[in-house]
Amino acid sequence: MSTEEAAKDVERLLARPVFAPQKEANRRLVVSIERTNEPRGYRATMDLFAASGTPLGSREIAIEAERCEQATEAITLALSIMADLPRTPEELLTPSNEREARPPRPLAPAPATVPARRSPPSHLQLGLGPAVAMATSSSVSPGVHVAALFEPTKFVPILAGVVSTARAYDTFDSRRVWLSSTRLEAALCLPLLGRRAFTLFACLGPEATIHVGWGAGFGEDRSGLASAFGGVARAYARFALSSKLQLFATTAVSATPQALDVGFTDRTGTRRTVLKTSTVTPTLAIGAGFDIF
C-alpha cells in the first residue's frame, strides 16, 4: 500500500479523520512491511511515537497470505488499532500547556516507511492429470484432463479446459466399437474458499463436445463424427506445494439436450444402434499444475 491508500483505508474503517500533515500532528506512526517465507506471508512492524519523539509502543503482526492484496485487510485493521490508541500519561504530562489544552490531533503517517503499492500481477497456471467420465449412461471412460486457470488483476478467474476420454464397447457378434469424446470448456470462476495454500473455485460456463466413433467387422470399417453443445458446472480445488507447483482436484457436470447415437448400417442395409451418449456427463480429475507467469 502507498501512504495515501493506507491513510484512506484506516479513516474509512474508523469513520473519522485520523491523519494530518506531519508538522500539525501530535503523534507519528512508523510502519515497515516485509515479505516472509516461513510462514509464507508478510510481517508488519508498527512503532508509535509522541510528537516529542518519545516511544509510545510498538506492535508486530504476522500475516499468512500468498499475495499482498490478500494481506491488505489485516494490515489496515492493525493500523487502525494503533492509530486509535488513547493518549498516554506521558503525553498528558508534556511540558507544553498549549499542547495539553488542544484536543488530540490526528496521526501523521510516515511516508518513507510504507512501500508503494503495486498492482498484483496476473497469474496463469497449467494443469495436467488423469480423468474419468461417464460418457454413456452406464459406462465410465478413462482419459486425460488439461486445465488452464487464468487469474487476472481486475477480473474473476477464468478456467479453460479439455477433457478427452476413449473407451471400447463390445457389441453383438463379437464386434467392437470405440467412442472418443473430447470436451472443450471455458468458465468464469468465483473463489468459494481461500485458506493458506488451499483455494476452492466454483466455475460455470459453456462447453462443446466432439464425439468420434469407429468400429471394424461390420462388412467394412466404419467411423463417424458428431458434436454436441451445452453447459458445464465445475468445482476446482488447488493446493499450493510451492510458489510454482500446485496439486489440483476437480469435478464437473456437463449437460446438453443432444443425445447422440453411435450406430452402423449392416450388410442388409439395416440401421443398428450400438450405444447412445448421455445428456448429463459427470467427470472427475486430479493432477499437478505449474505457474507459467
Residue-wise pLDDT tens digits, 212-221: 888 776 555 6
For residue 254, give the C-alpha cell: 456437463
Q: What's residue 100's pLDDT?
A: 44
Do residues 254 and 277 lie in contact, with contact meaning Cβ atoms separated by under 8 Å?
no
Q: What's residue 98's pLDDT?
A: 42
Q: Residue 111: is its pLDDT beyond 50?
A: no
Q: What is the pLDDT of residues 120-169, one digit of tens each?
A: 577 899 999 999 998 776 788 999 999 999 988 878 899 999 999 998 88
Q: What is the pLDDT of residues 230-246, one digit of tens each?
A: 999 999 999 988 878 99
Cα separation, 219 vs 70, whole angstroms: 64
User: What amino acid is encoded at 217 in this protein?
Assistant: G
- Residue 286 has phi, psi (to 5 degrees) of -135, 165
User: CA geometry: angle at 114 spanning 113 and 115, to 5°?
Assistant: 115
Domains of the chain: 3-113 (no CATH), 123-291 (2.40.160.20)
Q: What's residue 209's pLDDT?
A: 93
Q: What is the pLDDT of residues 30-55, one digit of tens each?
A: 888 888 877 778 888 888 888 778 88
pLDDT more than 70, % of the chain: 84
Among residues 139, 144, 223, the alpha carbon closest in space to that of 182 is found at 144
Establish whether the linkage from the previous residue to 39 is cis, with ω within 30° of 0.
yes
C-alpha distances (whole Å) from 8 to each of 4, 36, 39, 76 are 6, 26, 29, 10
Q: What's residue 215's pLDDT?
A: 78
Cα separation, 293 vs 283, whole angstroms: 28
Q: What's residue 110's pLDDT?
A: 45
Q: Mean per-residue pLDDT for 77-96?
A: 73
Residue entry with cell 498492482: 119
Q: What's residue 90's pLDDT?
A: 67
The per-residue pLDDT of the chain, averaged, comes to 81
Looking at per-residue pLDDT, the higher value among 1 and 226 belongs to 226
Q: What's residue 247's pLDDT?
A: 94
For residue 28, give the C-alpha cell: 507519528
- 89 burial type by CB count under 10 A (0-12 exposed, 13-18 middle, 19+ buried): exposed
C-alpha distances (whole Å) from 167 to each of 129, 271, 278 are 18, 22, 14
pLDDT more than 90, % of the chain: 29
Cβ burial 134-157 (10 Å sphere, 16+ → b, else e):
bbbeeeebebbbbbbbbbeeeeeb
Q: Mean per-residue pLDDT for 103-127?
A: 59
Looking at per-residue pLDDT, the higher value among 15 and 239 belongs to 239
Q: What is the pLDDT of residues 167-193, one digit of tens each?
A: 888 776 667 788 899 999 999 999 888
Q: Residue 251: is its pLDDT beyond 80?
A: yes
Task: Give start and end residues of each alpha helix (H) in the chain.
Answer: 3-14, 68-83, 89-92, 97-101
Q: Residue 101: is its pLDDT beyond 50?
A: no
pTM summary value: 0.57
Q: What's residue 174's pLDDT?
A: 67
